[in-house]
A and B are shown apart, each in its own frame.
Chain A
Amino acid sequence: MINYDGHALILAVIEDFHANGKAVYKHQIQKVLYLLSIQGEVNVPFDFVLYRRGPYSFEVDAEIEQMLSYAAITRAASGAYGTTFIPGRNAAFVHEHARAFTPAEQHAIHRICQFAAEQTPLELDRVSAAGWLRAREQLRDDQGIASRLRSLKSHVSNDEANTAAQSLARLLPA
C-alpha cells in the first residue's frame, strides 16, 4: 500500500524549497526529515541509521523512488551533489490522500527547511550528526557533542564541530 502520510512529509519538504525558488537534493531531504524527527512536532514515520554522511534512512530513499514512479515528485537536474527534486504533476494526489498538516507542523517543517537551505551540504551533515549524538547518545552539552563529532569524523575541525553543535542548539534548543 502507498504510504501517503510519509509521502506528504517528503513532498512538504520539496514544496518548501520549491516555494523559495530552490530544488532540493535527496541528501537535504534526508537531513531535514531527521532533524524534524528529533524536533518532535511532526511524526516522521521513518527509521534512521548513522551512515557515512550522518543520519540516513533507507526507507526515505525507497519512498522517494515510489513517489517518482507516480509523478508525485520529479527530478529537476543533476547538480554537484546528485539529483535535485521538485513537485511532480501528480503532487495533488498526495495531498488528496494524506492527512493535512496542522499549522504547528507546517511551521516546524518550514523552519527546518529554511535552516537547511542556508547550510552547505557539509554543514548540514555535521548539524544532523550532532542531532544524532544528542538524541541517540544522550550528549547534552555543546562541547561533548563537538568532541564526539570529531571522534567520528576525523577530518572535521574543532571549529566546524563546535559550530555544528551551536547551530543545533540554536535550531533545536535542548
Chain B
Amino acid sequence: MAGLQHRVRDGIHSFVEFDNVEKHLIDSQPFQRLRDVHQLAMCYQIYPGATHRRFEHSLGVMEVAGRIFDRVFAPTVLAEDVRDHLGDHLREDAKIYWRRVTRIAALLHDVGHLPFSHAAEDLLAPGWDHERLTAELIRHSEIGQILGRERPPIVPEDVVDLCWSPKSRRKVEAGAIDGLSPFKLILNELITGNTFGADRIDYLLRDSHHAGVAYGRFDPDRLIHGLRLIVAPEDEELALALDIGGIHAAEALLLARYFMYSQVYFHDVRRAYDIHLRDFLKGWLGTRFKDGLFPTDWQQHQRLSDSHVQVAMQEAAFTAGHPLHELARRLLCRCHYRTVYTLVAQHKEANPNILNDVRDFLIGEYGDEAVRMHQYGPKSEVNDFRVVTRDRMSTTSYAVSEVIKNVPAFDIGFVFVEARIASQAERRVRTYLRGSLGEPGGGN
C-alpha cells in the first residue's frame, strides 16, 4: 500500500493524510478549482462565518471514507457470512485497491460542482447535474490520466461507480446501475449514503463549525466505530449496519441533520438568496452562452467558479442601467425578498397544494416578478437502517429508537415577495388563508 506521506491540518478532523496519487489529484486543476466554490453558496449573508469551500470538505470526506472503510473491513469486525459474501474482495491486493478507490472517489465526489454549489443546478441542460459533470471530469480530464499512471492502474470507471449516487445516475445511465455489484453499492453508500455516508458526516460537522451553530455536532468516532457489514435478512445481500452501541451517536447525527436543515440549509433568508442568485446567474449566463445555460463541456465548466460570478455581480450592482443591476443589488445590497408565507403541516393536510395556491394568489395580486417560491421535501424515510443487537440479531433503527422514529420529516416551503410590499402581502396572505382554510389567524 502506498504510505500516507503527506498531511494537512484540518479544522474538523485535526489532520487529513494522503499519499502521492491523492496528492497529484489534489494538485490537479479540477480539484484546485474547488478552492473557489463556496460550500454553502451565499449562506455567508446570514451566517458570516460560512465562507468555507468545497476544497476542504472534499479532503474531509476522503478522510472519513478511509476511516469507515478501515472499520467495516477490519478482520475483527467481519462476521463469517459477510466474509463468504465478500469472497475475493478480501484478498489483500483487492482490499488495498478498493480502499484507494474509495478514498479517491470520496476526494473527487464534488469536482463537478457549479459556481456556488447547488444554487443553480437547474441552469444546466436537461439530464445534467454536478454528479454527471464529476463523472465527466474523472473520465476525460487530467484526473483520468493521473489514475491511469498508478501501478496497478486505478480504473476511472470504478471511481465513478463509487462517487455517483444511484439516485442521480439512474436518470442518465440507468443501465450502469443495473450492473453495479452489491460490493460496489456498499462502497458507494460509504460515501454517498443518506445516513452514514462520509459526505454527510463531514458536511454536517464542517458546516455547523463554520456557520457557528452547535446544531450539527455529534460524535463521528463513536458512530464510525459502530458500523459493520452484515448480510441483510430481507434480501441476503451485503448491507451497512450499526451496532446497537452506536445508536445514540446515530440519533445525534440524525437530530443534527434535522436542526442543520431547518436552521441553516433551509433558513428562509438563505433560500431567498439562493433564488436571487439563480435569477442573477440566469441573466448572466444569457449574456455569455448562446443557450443561456451552464456549459456541460468539462473544459468550459472548469473555467467558471465563484470569483467569475462575484466580479460580474459587483459590476452589475454598481453600474446603474446595467441589465442585471437590480438582480445584483438584491444580492449585494441586502435587498432580498421577504418571507410572507411558511408552509405548516396543518395547512398542507387541509390542502396539499396550499403552497402553490398562496404563490398563485400573490402573483395575481402583485404580478409574477414580485413573487418567488421555494419548496423542498417532504423527506423522512432515510432514517430507517439496519441495527445489530447485542445478541447479534439484525433489526431496524425504528424498532430500537423512539428518537429516530420521531425525527420530523423535512417539508419546507416559503413564499417570498419584494421587500416594499412585504407587510401588505403578509396581511393579504392571512386573509386568503382565513378564506381558503377557515383558519382564524392564518396560522402564519
A interface, CB within 8 angstroms of B:
1-2, 26-27, 47, 49-53, 58, 61, 64-66, 68-72, 78, 80-83, 90, 93, 121-122, 125, 153, 155
The segment from B174-182, B200-208, B272-280, B318-326 that touches chain A is B174-182
Contact B381 A70 (CB under 8 A): no
- Contacts A49-B166, A82-B384 given; does A70 touch B236 at CB 8 Å: no
| A7 vs B267: C-alpha distance when bound (angstroms) | 30
Contact B409 A122 (CB under 8 A): no
- Contacts A70-B349, A70-B352 given; does A53 touch B378 at CB 8 Å: no
Further contacts, 16 of them, CB under 8 A, given A83-B384, A93-B352, A155-B236 = A50-B177, A52-B185, A52-B235, A65-B377, A65-B378, A68-B378, A68-B380, A69-B411, A70-B352, A71-B349, A78-B398, A78-B399, A82-B396, A90-B349, A122-B236, A153-B237
Contact A69 B398 (CB under 8 A): no
The total number of A-B Cβ pairs within 8 Å is: 81
B interface, CB within 8 angstroms of A:
85, 166-167, 170, 174, 177-178, 182, 185, 233-237, 345, 348-349, 352-353, 356, 377-381, 384, 395-396, 398-399, 405, 409, 411
Please give, as numbers and ranges, the residues of chain A lying within 8 Å of B379 by CB-CB distance: 65
Q: Say whether chain A's binding surface is mostly helix, strand, loop, or mixed.
A: mixed
- Contacts A70-B352, A81-B234, A90-B349 given; does A65 touch B380 at CB 8 Å: yes
Contact B234 A51 (CB under 8 A): no
Q: How far is the CB of B251 from chain A (nearest CB, A)?
A: 15
Q: Interface centre among A47, A69, A72, A122, by most B CB within 10 Å?
A: A69
Please give, as numbers and ranges, the residues of chain A lying within 8 Å of B182 by CB-CB distance: 52
**Closest 10 A/B residue pairs (Cβ):** A78-B398, A69-B378, A50-B178, A70-B352, A49-B170, A53-B235, A65-B378, A78-B399, A2-B352, A69-B411
Contact A70 B348 (CB under 8 A): yes
Contact B405 A78 (CB under 8 A): yes
